Amino acid sequence: MENYLLDWANLLLRWVHVITAIAWVGSSFYFVFLDSSLTPPEDEDLKKQGVSGELWAVHGGGFYHPVKFAVKPPQLPAHLHWFYWESYSTWLSGFALFTISYLWNAGTYLVDKSLMNWSPGAAGAVALSFFAVFWILYDGICQIFGRRKNGDAIVGALVAVLVCAASWLACHWFAGRAAFLLVGAMMATAMSANVFFWIIPGQRKVVAAIKAGEPVDAVHGQRGKQRSVHNTYFTLPVLFAMLSNHYSFTWSHPQNWLVLILMMLAGAAIRQFFVLRHGYKLGRNRHPLAYALAGVTVIVGVIVWMKPAPPAATPSAMNSGSASQGTARAAGQNDYQTVQPILAQRCYLCHGEQVQMKNVRLDSPAALKSHAQQVYQQVVVARLMPMNNATGITEAERMAVKSWFEAGAKTD
């Protein structure tokens, strides 16, 4: 019953998390586009009001004319929309999902004993510390170096080093799938913290100053803009880290930390292309195609580098005196008697008489037959099971399961 309720909670929270993330990322991308596409106002009245940029757009059958005031508008409207619940809802739903998916069963999902043989409590505590420590270090870098000459470049370089170090540590301390998700959640936490601690408080101070008739300090807008820019470059790396948990060939790679870093670098480069592309259309900078090509080149390089080696020829195939003899030997390796000892040693611990994780039991021919497709998908295709390979299944054993399934998954 507990597993059933956890599955429902996981599904519903994931649904909410994706919806709110779409809203947050969508609004973030829109405002980056808007800032990059504004042109100086042509109307004299807009200039007198302090408008620094305007944009004409058409969408959904109507025309839109957003304008941006350099520091403050002549007067505040009665209804002012604030963009923060998209961020907060995404983080809250994501943290809840992380809690029930990873922290609730930290011993299963976070711990890989071949990397770090620590207790579930210790693993959960260290995982949570990634969020806090990364934010403290990142925020410190922004505050210390952000106001210096060439501060943006210095901050960008130091934050990149920080992300790389965190990725390396996560992949050497935690199970691969958890490590990738943890790095993504760590960066997403910093993104939401930027909104909570800097962007929204700065905007509130500006609004309060306008209402009080006091001069507005432009530093609040500058800080908010800086953190907003960081968020937009974090977005594609975070999305890759989050989505990669469905693709075990990424996080199960021996150098998974390097896979993660390279793919996040590619995402940031591609995001830079889209950011600069808006300005290029207005003649503000060179064509940013080089960034897109760099990102794509990195991705192609990773694909080639991770290419699986061709399967080695089996002794039976090399030594068979005839095709019929080779076929006969292969057929003998595809039966239930061959695969049952493998499942007994590697799978019955969690899917046997005493425990049936996810309501899956494999310790009888009938039960195995009903779950044959799932076994093939999880053991051979996705390579997710055994979880974190806790029972030490070998590559040869996975291939035996593959041969058994492709031969018809017979259990008699």
pTM of this structure: 0.82
Quick one: DSSP state of residue 70?
A: S
346-390 per-position pLDDT tens digit: 888 888 877 777 778 888 888 888 888 888 888 887 777 887 777
Task: Tell me which residue of 273, 105, 245 sits closest to 181, measured CA to CA.
Answer: 245
How wide is the angle at C-alpha 343 spanned by C-alphas 245 and 336, nearest 5°?
A: 125
Name, of 71-75, 259-263, 326-330, 398-402, the range with top average pLDDT: 259-263
Paired residues of 63 in beta bridges: 58
Strand segments (E) across 87-129: none
CA of residue 164 relative to chain centroid, distance: 15
Break the chain into its structural domains and give their ranges.
2-37+71-305, 332-406
Q: How far apart are CA 155 and CA 157, in angstroms?
A: 6
Residues contacting 342, CB < 8 A, separation 6+:
393, 397, 400, 401
17-66 per-position pLDDT tens digit: 999 999 999 999 999 899 888 999 999 999 989 999 999 999 999 999 99
Residue with tokens 């039960």: 367
